[in-house]
Amino acid sequence: MAEKKLVEAITSMSEDFAQWYTDVVKKAELIDYSNVKGCMVIKPAGYAIWENIQKRMDERFKATGVENVYMPMFIPESLLQKEKDHVEGFAPEVAWVTHGGLNPLQERMCVRPTSETLFCDFYKGDIHSYRDLPRVYNQWCSVVRWEKETRPFLRSREFLWQEGHTAHATAGEAQERTEQMLNVYADFCEEVLAIPVVKGRKTEKEKFAGAEATYTIEALMHDGKALQSGTSHNFGDGFARAFGIQFTDKDNQLKYVHQTSWGVSTRIIGAIIMVHGDDSGLVLPPEIAPTQVMIIPIQQKKEGVLDKAYELRDKLGSFRVKVDDSDKSPGWKFSEQEMRGIPMRVEIGPKDIEAGKCVICRRDTREKTEVALDKLEETVGELLKTIQSDMLARARKHLEEHTYTAVNREEFERVFAEKSGFVKAMWCGERECEEAIKENMAVTSRCMPFEQECLSDTCVYCGRPAKKMVYWGRAY
RNA sequence: CGGCGUGUGGCUCAGCUUGGUAGAGCGCUACGUUCGGGACGUAGAGGCCGCAGGUUCGAAUCCUGUCACGCCGACCA
């Protein structure tokens, strides 16, 4: 059934997905553009989503033993230079501070694009003994990467994120932590954001600058493009060797630590928008929605209507509820609630009050139901749970329906020409082959999933013996 | 960094071709009527036309330069 478009101000997805995204971001009042390209003003509605993400994710981090810290935002050039692959990866996109007040600095400093080097420099002096390990630190901060092409949430020059940096006594422990955090991210996405993800390892070409191995969660947007939604890296002892982070182990031997880092950014808000949104605007999963229920009074100037609305708000005190008592017409308020993605609304007017009922309407399906006022609290609680699980189910169905397979080059090319989504295909493991695929098909490897399947014995592109099954896609 | 596009009240834009007193709709303020899917009336406020030069008696309009932003590519969370 074609969805009836109620709000003219939002471009429909099918017409122009990029414009739809921009419209939603603006109409849901998540951000405003600022005077600096690629730097956005995150408005209350957007920031509240981030606050909830922080809160819910931080709880999960802490449960695994993470402690929060804060590192400086400036990195002296000499420090950034220490790990070769790392500098090469980030140098093209760092912003430099060259002056302190009126005077040039002796050594210029970059604004952190990520804080590996700062953590390493700190760990070097902080870790001496196996008793000091593991170090499981995380920081919530913003970082700066001077991107050429910017888009709200998806790619901004300054963005908010968390970056965890850990140091361990053994390679095994580091690997365990790397996978553990990837799982924390994946579970968070599914359980809180209702976004199903594919977990796997990045190829050598796509891995993080300086990492031994990079793991990723990949989500599929409504338009069939992939979004890397979180990453977890195992550094082995590469950074430790570059920075000299050594400790004395139980056997009295001097050893290098093994490190990890992992991060999730405000980009994930872009994923929420593009996985769940529709032509009427944002659709927020109840778990993360800053406001879960909007009560909209009808004929609010009539005696008793507003009082009843406030009474219902108080009755629903165990949820995040607001009353829209603004001067606008009900129709306006409906549209507003929908554009902002508030999962549910309660309509209450004189007719309802007389009949001892109200109308509830869920944002995701726009289905309306009449509910007796004395059943409201119970019904709202159940419905919010239903919305959350339905949203995940729908997103999962979309992911499954847009995941294809290809076993030879012709099939591979055809599926990308005709469809938009993930394509599972076997790969030889050669970098040159991956580069050719990117060059010729504008498609990148998203990950080598943990759940491997054997689709055929030969590489989908070059026909050489296959080593891995890979998810391919076009990505944001 | 390449390609395209746009800068005129808070927002969306018209006006520019052919130079001659800055416009519309929406929003905003006040009052009144309304209210179950973006209601209406009346009255008001609000603009060195992105910036800098130039041409001209006269520039939003023509010329030159510049800045900013948006979109699409290459690179990235």
Number of domains in chain A: 3
On the question of pLDDT at A416 being above 70, the answer is yes
Q: Looking at residues A199-213, what average pLDDT do you find?
A: 94
Q: Which of A97-101, A224-228, A395-399 has the lowest mean pLDDT?
A: A97-101
Residues A267 and A321 in one domain: no
Q: Looking at residues A176-187, what average pLDDT do you find?
A: 98
Residues A322 and A245 in one domain: no
In whole angstroms, what is the distance from residue A293 CA to residue A367 CA?
15
In whole angstroms, what is the distance from residue A437 CA to residue A415 CA?
14
Torsion angle in degrees (nearest 10) through CA of A58, A60, A66, A71: -20
Nucleotide with smallest C1' distance to residue A353 CA: B36
**pLDDT reported for residue A7:** 55
Nucleotide with smallest C1' distance to residue A348 CA: B36
In whole angstroms, what is the distance from residue A40 CA to residue A157 CA?
9
**pLDDT reported for residue A8:** 61
Domain boundary (A247, A276, A305) is at A276
Stated in angstroms, how far is A38 CA from B27 C1'?
27
**pLDDT reported for residue A5:** 43
Q: Residues A111, A73: contact at Cβ < 8 Å?
A: yes
Residue type, position A373, single letter: L
Stated in angstroms, how far is A339 CA from B27 C1'?
18
Nucleotide with smallest C1' distance to residue A37 CA: B69
Closest CA to A274 of A232, A230, A229, A231: A229
Give residue-wise pLDDT tens across range A419-439: 999 999 999 999 999 999 998
pLDDT band at A2 (very low <50, low <70, confident <90, very high): very low
Stated in angstroms, how far is A161 CA from B18 C1'?
56
Residues A442 and A413 in one domain: yes
Q: Looking at residues A250-278, what average pLDDT do you find?
A: 96
**pLDDT reported for residue A4:** 38
Determine, yes or no, domain membership for A456. yes
Residues A458 and A309 in one domain: no
Domain with A301 in it: 293-383
In whole angstroms, what is the distance from residue A61 CA to residue A12 CA?
38
Stated in angstroms, how far is A23 CA from B54 C1'?
40
Determine, yes or no, domain membership for A10. no
Question: Which long-range contacts link A55-63 to residues 24+ away (Cβ below 8 Å)?
Answer: A56/A188, A56/A192, A56/A287, A56/A288, A57/A162, A57/A184, A57/A188, A57/A192, A57/A264, A58/A140, A58/A162, A60/A184, A60/A187, A60/A188, A61/A138, A61/A162, A61/A164, A61/A184
Q: Give me the interface pTM, i.e. the ipTM.
A: 0.82
**pLDDT reported for residue A136:** 98
Determine, yes or no, domain membership for A2. no
In whole angstroms, what is the distance from residue A395 CA to residue A192 CA?
13
Determine, yes or no, domain membership for A115. yes
Give residue-wise pLDDT tens across range A318-351: 999 999 999 999 999 999 999 999 999 999 999 9
Give residue-wise pLDDT tens across range A377-409: 999 999 999 999 999 999 999 999 999 999 999
On the question of pLDDT at A6 being above 50, the answer is no
SS3 for A467?
A: coil
Q: Looking at residues A207-233, what average pLDDT do you find?
A: 95
The mean of the pLDDT values for chain A is: 93
Element (H, E) at A163: strand A158-168
Q: Looking at residues A165-186, what average pLDDT do you find?
A: 98
Residues A205 and A253 in one domain: yes
Determine, yes or no, domain membership for A391. no
Nucleotide with smallest C1' distance to residue A270 CA: B77
**pLDDT reported for residue A213:** 96
Residues A302 and A220 in one domain: no
Stated in angstroms, how far is A280 CA from B47 C1'?
34
**Higher pLDDT, residue A269 or A104:** A269
CATH code, domain carrying A435: 3.30.110.30
Give residue-wise pLDDT tens across range A110-131: 999 999 999 999 999 999 999 9
CATH code, domain carrying A326: 3.40.50.800
Enumerate the β-bridge partners of residue A427.
A468
- Convert A336-354 to b/e letters by CB count within 10 Å (16 or more is b): bbbbbbbbbbbbbbbebbe
Determine, yes or no, domain membership for A11. no
Residues A153 and A124 in one domain: yes
Residues A229 and A366 in one domain: no
On the question of pLDDT at A238 being above 70, the answer is yes
Enumerate the β-bridge partners of residue A265.
A161
Residues A120 and A175 in one domain: yes
In whole angstroms, what is the distance from residue A142 CA to residue A304 CA?
48
Residues A162 and A228 in one domain: yes
Q: How far is residue A235 from each of residues A23, A83, A122, A182, measured CA to CA in Å?
A: 40, 11, 16, 15
Determine, yes or no, domain membership for A395. no
Give residue-wise pLDDT tens across range A44-78: 999 999 999 999 999 999 999 999 999 999 999 99
The structure tokens 């059943």 sit at A375
On the question of pLDDT at A309 being above 80, the answer is yes
Determine, yes or no, domain membership for A443. yes
Residues A176 and A317 in one domain: no
CATH code, domain carrying A186: 3.30.930.10
Q: Residues A71, A139: contact at Cβ < 8 Å?
A: yes
Nucleotide with smallest C1' distance to residue A25 CA: B70
Stated in angstroms, how far is A141 CA from B28 C1'?
37
Residue nearest to nucleotide B76 (CA to C1'): A147
Residues A259 and A112 in one domain: yes
Which nucleotides in chain B lie less than 7 Å from some protein C-beta? 1-2, 34-39, 68-77
Nucleotide with smallest C1' distance to residue A333 CA: B38
Residue nearest to nucleotide B26 (CA to C1'): A9
Stated in angstroms, how far is A29 CA from B16 C1'?
34
Stated in angstroms, how far is A32 CA from B20 C1'?
40
